[in-house]
A and B are shown apart, each in its own frame.
Chain A
Amino acid sequence: MPFTAWSKVVKEPVTIKDPLNREAAPRYRGFHDNDVDECIGCGTCEAICENEAIDLVPVDGIETKDGDSGLRPKIDYGRCCWCALCVDICTTNSLRLTNEYKWIDTDPDNFRFVPGVDKKDWYDKKDGWRKPEPNYEFYGLKRVEMGELHPEERDDSFIEMIQGYSKEQAEAEADRCVECGICTATCPAHMGIPEYIKAIRNDDLEEGLRILYDTNPLPEICGRICTHKCETVCTMGHKGDPISIRWLKRYIADQNPSEKYKKILETDKLTKNGKKVAIIGSGPAGLSAAYYLSLLGYDIEIFEKLAEAGGMMRFGIPEYRLPYDQIDKDVNYILSLGVKIHYNTTIGKDITLEKLNEDFDAVFAGTGLHLGRSTRIEGTEHKHVYQSIELLRKITEGEEIHVPEKIVVIGGGNVAMDITRSLARLQKIKYGKVQVTATSLETEEKMPADREEVVEAREEGCVVNPGWSPQRIEIVDGKIKGLHVVQCLSLFDETGNFNPQCNMKNENFFEADMVVESIGQGMDLSYISEPTKEHLEMGPRGRIKVNDYFQTSVGWLFMGGDTIQGPDVIHGIANGHKAAVGIDNFLTKK
């Protein structure tokens, strides 16, 4: 009987008494909130938004810096559909949706705001939509593992240990990139990183190579030994592993055969403009300058002190990291563009700088840091105390070096690791076992060397024992017995100057027959002769002052690379490129 429905009339109404203040579910997708300190303005939210509801706008109080674009998402509630894809894809997990849902306004232009910046009264709500957990990602967080030789395979030879990506691996790794482009600012050469990663995804490696050569003429080299500052700021690094940008670069370079380079890069015929530029040193800066200048039509002559091109890249980096044939590939391509190179020619000795000025329209000096620095502690005068840079060069040149059974390396940088691991290989070959100890002032966390370098050194049997300040080398009967160290507490004082503090009570002693110092390199500016030197303005710390385009106060002399910006291949390349632009400006204006 339908009349039974009337029994309901005595029941209490089920209406919500105060619907205006009703809290939504804890997972409700309401209005946006953004943790502006966490957010890095990568723009991934903008990219995923299917409604084009998100803009990236500059915000007061947030500076643009490495790893942070200084932009913050501004959301148009005239577009948003509250799908929360922006939250799910957020690379830093800074964006979220609160469970607030009431926003009434009479002016339609008001419905735009920058979450977290513009004052809204829902930021204190803790509930709301966050990225679901676990295993819910819109991209891979884990890096594609790079194949490398096992320690036992590699520790007695200098063959390359990193194997490089296969096509599938490279595409999978490239797939993780969200194309935000924040890395581009951090890369000293400002390479088009998202663009070439995209080329890998599209399997268009020729396009990739073109993008690489736009800003970097040494991709094979950089693809192996670049300090990859880009990877430190990679947005993917906030939640997972950063993209292996370096390996991807190497993948592009490796996959393109050198004989095709000219065709791909359309450098078959370069029109010459008749001007000549001399370049001192065939390191990264010199080669980069040479490449970009020759693209512009200049005749280039390189003067190289040593017998082979490559500078520090060849003589400072062991072969297992950077095989020489790969250096040759990059260098030969540059030389094939008509660049002349004079080996074994030392400026100042074989030819003077002034002479270069007379013969050429401009000179670019890309000389490296070839002088080792010494700790100057007691005992460093001993003949078996070596500079790492010198040893590395000798190893490259194939010279026989002294390899005793026990070695201590002072230094925690990449060069120290290079020499440590090179010596370990030599020991292994010679004795079948490894007894190399590397020590540094910096503690384990603060060691300037790349993390994987330290790990691999340990895998190969080296002892890395950081946090010690060397005191003196014990020499008994003219033979080195070992190195006395004390615990190092801090490196810098409050003002930021180098001023190590040690705990003298905590001593240690490393036994050794040989000590290698690897605490930095110095530059050799002896080739600059007096007449020129007089006109050179010097900057702080004994460096030569250059303008934005690496032009010294002399005008015709441009300098770049390690001597100006410290030891780093990618900086050298960037300097060379910029100097090339500067030289071009300088010469076309003249």
Chain B
Amino acid sequence: MSEKDMNDKVNEMLQRSETNVKKAEKTFIHPEDEEREVVAPDGSIIKINPIYDYFSNEKPTEEKPCSGVIEKFLNWARAESIWVLGFGTGCGSIEIPPLVTPRFDMFRFGVQMRPTPRQSNAFIISGYLSVKTLKRVIRTYEQMPSPKYILALGSCTINGGMYYDSYSTINRLDKYIPVDVYIAGCMPRPEALLAGFMKLKELIKEGKGEKANEYARNFDEYKANQKKIIKDWNMPDYNW
């Protein structure tokens, strides 16, 4: 890629980043995250904007499902092999250990835990999300490969729950990321969580588990909501 092309691309990317994001950056930006010019190993000067990358302002691509029977078959496989990200975002995660241990044993239903977002399809938002965690959750969600599913536990994700008046926790999860299945309870019992997985399987088999594409379609709206409350977009390296 020539220098000119590179510069054009960078400029194009910068134009796409929105103005209010920049405003937020002004107050909370680490020196190493500042937009700046660096000398590439080949001697050319390129502009970099780390915040832009962390921020994932890049609109995700909408990935079309395959057609007909093939998609149905793949959906069946997806439904029977759900890999859940092991990220306990809130207190509901205390009910995950019973699920992976003898009492409830969700492995027999094809549900397993994975430690990294790259390999997970399902994300259990286990209750309230503080803004600090939300930032990580969004990044994690964007790291997860499509198709991906979100299970939201408890009152907190629906309308704020106990923490409806807290300055630190969000009230409605669906404003920030699309949610497939809500499970009522504070916190939901493991049995309810299993029932939620069953519902998720049903949805996937019916071809309704396409919330990742919805996120891509309404990306601007979701991002605008996220930016409203997350002021500090500095993201430490390798932190999900």
Contact = CB atoms under 8 A, between A and B. Distances in A.
Q: Do chains A and B touch in the complex (CB under 8 A)?
A: yes
Interface of A: 13-16, 19-20, 22, 24, 31, 50-53, 76-82, 101-108, 111
Contacts of A78: 155, 158-161
Interface of B: 102-105, 108, 152, 155, 157-162, 164-165, 172-174, 179-186, 188-192, 194-196, 198-199, 203
A101 B188 contact: yes
B192 A79 contact: no
B66 to A, nearest CB: 23
A20 B203 CA distance: 17
A79 B159 contact: yes
13 contacts: A15-B108, A16-B104, A20-B194, A51-B162, A81-B161, A82-B186, A101-B188, A101-B189, A104-B181, A104-B199, A106-B180, A108-B157, A108-B174
Contacts of A15: 102-105, 108
B181 A106 contact: yes
B174 A13 contact: no
Most B Cβ at <10 Å: residue of A19, A22, A24, A101: A19
A104 B196 contact: yes
A495 B194 CA distance: 61
Contact of B186 (A24, A52, A81, A106): A81
A349 to B, nearest CB: 70
A102 B192 CA distance: 5
A365 B89 CA distance: 73
Given A14-B103, A15-B105, A108 B189 contact: no
B195 A20 contact: yes
Contact of A102 (B157, B181, B191): B191
A103 B184 contact: yes
A477 to B, nearest CB: 86
A79 B182 contact: no
Determine the main DSSP class of A at the interface with B: loop
Contact of B182 (A13, A19, A111): A111
Nearest to B194: A19
A103 B152 CA distance: 12
Please provide the 8 A-B residue pairs with the shortest distance between their CB atoms, ordered closest to farther. Answer: A78-B159, A78-B158, A103-B184, A104-B199, A81-B186, A15-B105, A77-B184, A108-B158
A211 B105 CA distance: 63
A105 B188 CA distance: 13
Contacts of A16: 103-104
B160 A82 contact: no
Contacts of B196: 104
B182 A108 contact: yes
Contact of B102 (A14, A24, A51, A52): A14
Contact of A79 (B160, B179, B191): B160
Contacts of A101: 185, 188-189, 191-192
A80 B155 contact: yes
A104 B195 contact: yes
B206 to A, nearest CB: 11
B125 to A, nearest CB: 12
Nearest to A21: B191
B186 to A, nearest CB: 4
Contacts of A31: 184
Contact of B191 (A13, A22, A77, A107): A22
A77 B155 contact: yes
B188 to A, nearest CB: 7
A104 B183 contact: yes
Nearest to A112: B159
B6 to A, nearest CB: 44
B176 to A, nearest CB: 13
A20 B191 contact: yes
B203 to A, nearest CB: 7
A108 B162 CA distance: 16
B195 A79 contact: no
A19 B104 contact: yes
A80 B156 CA distance: 9
Residue of B164, B184, B185, B196 with highest tally of chain A CB at under 10 A = B184
Given A20-B198, A22-B191, A104-B196, 15 more contacts: A13-B102, A16-B104, A51-B155, A52-B164, A52-B165, A76-B159, A77-B155, A77-B184, A78-B159, A102-B191, A105-B181, A107-B182, A108-B157, A108-B179, A111-B182
Name which of A31, A79, A105, A107 has the most chain B CB atoms within 10 A of its CB: A79
Contacts of A76: 159
A16 B165 CA distance: 39
Contact of A103 (B165, B180, B183, B194): B183
Contacts of A106: 180-182, 199, 203
A79 B172 CA distance: 11
Nearest to A15: B105
Contacts of B160: 78-79
A101 B195 CA distance: 10
A107 B184 CA distance: 11
A30 to B, nearest CB: 9
Nearest to B99: A19
Contacts of A107: 182
Nearest to A103: B184
A45 B143 CA distance: 44
Contacts of B188: 101
Nearest to A110: B182
A106 B208 CA distance: 11
A393 B226 CA distance: 80
Contact of B159 (A20, A24, A102, A108): A108
